[in-house]
Structure 1
Amino acid sequence: MTIYFYSTCEKYGCFSNFSPHGFELDEFYWPTSEHYFQAQKFVGTPHADQIRQVKTPKDAARMGRERSRPLRPDWEQVKDDIMRKAVLRKFETHADIREELLCTGDELIVENAPGDYYWGCGADGSGKNMLGQILVEVREILRLSNQQ
């Protein structure tokens, strides 16, 4: 069975970067993993802090996509590792959602995002599903750390 997620109000909504599961990372508190991810596009600039402080993950995403802001030059090289770092910290911080992720066993996890062919599966299922792949990696990291 494949586990699909997208909206925060559906089953497995906690897998979404918009889920309200904040955490501390890089000496700051982040309301969602979306806030952290989008802010990292502008790390070391006032833009990063502006994004960290906005009310909703939707606002953080919108601000992160504004090309009027100076995107860091290495973004394409570092974005997967930044996403992995944020998702891991989110699940390390919250026992309830960590348990939900671990209870998915060895199932494939897919972000059912019709408009996103990189982080999600895209409208036709041909997307890379990088967020789903990262969730599977994080599940394995958490599983191994539970065994120690």
Structure 2
Amino acid sequence: MKQVYKILLAGLTWATIITGCSKEKDVQEEGTQDPPVLAGTYNGNFSRTGMATTDITIAFTGNNFSGSSTAAYPVICNGTFTINTNQVSFTNACNETGAIVLNGTYNYTLLRGATFRIWRTNNNITDEYTITLAR
């Protein structure tokens, strides 16, 4: 009987050690997630406070982007971008004076699957791009 208790105690000790040790956390702490990868062609729309919504396409390759709009705005052209855990910054090669250009720093949210909401607000005017990875 003494042998059974020793085996049982050894098993419980082993189970406690195994479940208590972990090389990685199963869930990352908020604010420590890696930014998503923007890669591929995305279709969606652009809206600005007080203006009509327009259809857009943006293609991301590496840290480069290019795109188009079905209207005169926004001007997307091409350039580079960087993304971190809560913002994406665009540097556009277009130099359109007075036009709405995809340029500068925006907030983003991953809505579902591969749909992104990219926006910024300045003086009560919000520019918003909602794009979904084309399948």
Q: TM-score, normalised by structure 1?
A: 0.25
Q: TM-score, normalised by structure 2?
A: 0.27
Q: Which has the higher helix share?
A: 1
Bigger-Rg structure (1/2) = 2
